[in-house]
Amino acid sequence: MAATATPEIQPGVIQTTEDKSKSGLEPGYLVICWNDPVNFMDYVTHVFQVVFGWPRKKAEFHMLQVHEQGKSVLARESMEKAEHYVHQLQKYSLHATMERDE
Amino acid sequence: MKLIQATKSRLVFQLGQREELLLLRVLSLYPCVPPAHRQLSKGGRLPEPEANQRLLDEALAEHRADNKKQLQALLADQRRFTHMETGAQLSLSPAQVDWVLQVLNDVRVGSWVQLGSPEELAVGLNEKTSPHVRAMEMAGYFQAQFLEALGGGT
């Protein structure tokens, strides 16, 4: 991911919500964003805020995960919702996919 | 290009004459990302993968057509830019800035794809690569300015 500015957050201190729904019995689909060298870090943060309605710090946390670990699981949802999010992220030209949560 | 006025409903940018021409030139390159570039899943373990991939392709094609229409309207709208001796002022709502960012990123990512999706963005310049490198860099330049404006306003 290309840098435009240095984020000011500390990774690891943000509570994410995707684990909460894992206890459900329905098969879930993971919405994953993958790293690439071309999307700006600030742009990815902006897109996460717009698509998921997240506060900036949470969006930056996931952006940094993408940047440092190669991917970030952004949500675990029903198939329809996961599809919706992937469509939204791809409209912004992010490298996002959905994968079945085994 | 710099942000000269920011309210909740409007952002006004000052551009030099060359910047205005470059911005219009970069925007006119839209769309750049090849349709086949988008994949719904990497693992391919989705039910009805072909039908779902087709849905994604159709949704993105529709979105692209809408963007193209909006872009043509923007480029044709003489009032969008207020011209002055030293350049122009561009007035956009935050939603329009978000939309322009999408268009610019399509040009940036699409140009990168045309270059073969290299891991290193410092691509050697030659007759074949230089139009894509220039488009990628110019789109990135304007993206950075718009992102800074949005970041400053939140």
pLDDT in tens, A68-93: 999 999 999 999 999 999 999 999 99
Q: Note whether residue A44 is domain-resident.
A: yes
Q: Note whether residue A33 is domain-resident.
A: no
Q: What gap in Å lies between CA B124 and CA B130, rounded to an integer?
A: 8
Number of compact structural domains in chain A: 1
Please tell me the total number of residues recorded for chain B in this structure: 154
Tens digits of residue pLDDT in A41-76: 999 999 999 999 999 999 999 999 999 999 999 999
pLDDT over 50 at B152, yes or no: no
Confidence (pLDDT) at A20: 46
Q: Note whether residue A81 is domain-resident.
A: yes
Q: Note whether residue A29 is domain-resident.
A: no
Whose tokens are 């270059």? That residue is B115
Q: Note whether residue A65 is domain-resident.
A: yes
Q: What are phi and psi of B91, to 5 degrees?
A: -110, 125
A57 touches chain B (CB under 8 A): no
Chain A: residue whose CA lies nearest to B64:
A91
A29 touches chain B (CB under 8 A): yes
Q: What gap in Å lies between CA B44 and CA B98, rounded to an integer?
A: 31
Q: What gap in Å lies between CA B154 and CA B145, rounded to an integer?
A: 15
Residue A68: how many CA atoms within 13 Å on its side-chain side?
9
Q: Nearest-CA distance from B84 to chain A in Å? A: 30
Mean pLDDT estimate for chain B: 91
B16 touches chain A (CB under 8 A): no
Confidence (pLDDT) at A12: 52
Residues 6+ apart with CB under 8 A from A67: A1, A35, A41, A44
Which CATH number covers residue A88? 3.30.1390.10
Total-model pTM: 0.87
From chain B, the residues in CB contact with A29 under 8 A are 46
Residue from the list B52, B102, B147 with its beta carbon closest to the beta carbon of A83: B52
Q: Note whether residue A7 is domain-resident.
A: no
Domain coverage including residue A93: 39-100
With a pLDDT cut of 90, the percent of chain B lying above it is: 71
Chain Cα centroid distance, residue B115: 17
CB pair distance less than 8 Å for B45 and A99: yes
Confidence (pLDDT) at B44: 73
Q: What gap in Å lies between CA B134 and CA B92, rounded to an integer?
A: 25
Q: How confident is the model at residue B154 (pLDDT cuts 50, 70, 90)?
A: very low
For strands B81-84 and B11-16, give the pairing: unpaired
Tens digits of residue pLDDT in B33-64: 998 888 999 987 888 888 989 999 999 999 99
Confidence (pLDDT) at A19: 47
User: Which candidate in A4, A31, A43 is best for mutational testing of the B interface (most B CBs within 10 A)?
Assistant: A43
Q: Note whether residue A91 is domain-resident.
A: yes
Residue from the list A56, A93, A98 with its beta carbon closest to the beta carbon of B40: A98
Q: What gap in Å lies between CA B149 and CA A25, rounded to an integer?
A: 44
Q: Note whether residue A20 is domain-resident.
A: no
